[in-house]
Amino acid sequence: MALALNNLRPAKGSTHKKKRVGRGPGSGLGKTSGRGHKGQKSRSGYSRKIGFEGGQMPLQRRLPKRGFTNIFKTKWIEVSLGKLEESFNAGDRITPEVLHERSLIKKAKHDLVILGSGEITKALNVSAHRFTKSAKEKIEKAGGTATVIEKAPKALVKPSKSDENGKG
């Protein structure tokens, strides 16, 4: 018999009958519907928190905390010279914004670093926040320029209260 939409059936043994609870003592699941007598778990609407161990201190609280997150860590977006070689023509100006437009990097939000892996034969004008030593040498050897993007330093001095109120 050919398989068709009108004769599709689940594999034998893969489906089970729904358990009908609370339908009299003859069913074996009458009266309390297999929930036992009284208590929180017998009530409707009960749902246990993930990791709840009956009031015992849960495992995730018994284990010690370890490590920390460094909020000052600098995140770098890495791009290799080989990627630049295949994606750009000679004389092109390459910035993080251009790389983002061409979908070579996800966001121009983090700092860009150019890695020296791969070969470069075209003269490219690359602007990035950092270059590896080998990347800079290869770009300049091919006749291009490697310009470091300087970030403006953040203001360290807070304005005084008199400046905020508009009084000198």
Is 89 inside any structural domain? yes
- Over residues 54-67, the pLDDT tens digits come to 899 999 999 999 99
Assess if residue 3 is contained within a domain. no
Asked if the model's pLDDT at residue 164 lies above 60, the reply is no
Does residue 51 fall inside a structural domain? no
User: Within a domain: residue 159?
Assistant: no
Domain enclosing residue 110, as ranges: 76-148
CATH number reported for the structural domain that contains residue 87 in this entry: 3.100.10.10
Q: Read out DSSP for 20-51?
A: --SS-GGGSS-TTTTS-SSSGGGSTT--PPTT
Q: What is the mean pLDDT of the chain?
A: 89
* 22 in a structural domain: no
Residue 109 in contact with residue 84, Cβ under 8 Å?
no
Is 20 domain-assigned? no
Residue 107's pLDDT is 80
Does residue 163 sit in helix, strand or coil?
A: helix
Q: What is the pLDDT of residues 140-163, one digit of tens each?
A: 999 999 999 998 777 666 666 665
Q: Is residue 105 part of a domain?
A: yes
Q: What is the DSSP string of 80-149?
A: EHHHHHHH--TT-EE-HHHHHHTTSSS-SSSEEEEE--S---S--EEEESEE-HHHHHHHHHTT-EEEEP
How many domains in the chain? 1
pLDDT in tens, 7-50: 999 999 999 999 999 999 999 999 999 999 999 899 999 998 99
Range in 82-86, 92-96, 121-125, 163-167 the model is least confident about: 163-167
**DSSP secondary structure string for all residues of 137-156:** HHHHHTT-EEEEPPPPPPP-
Assigned domain for 153 exists: no
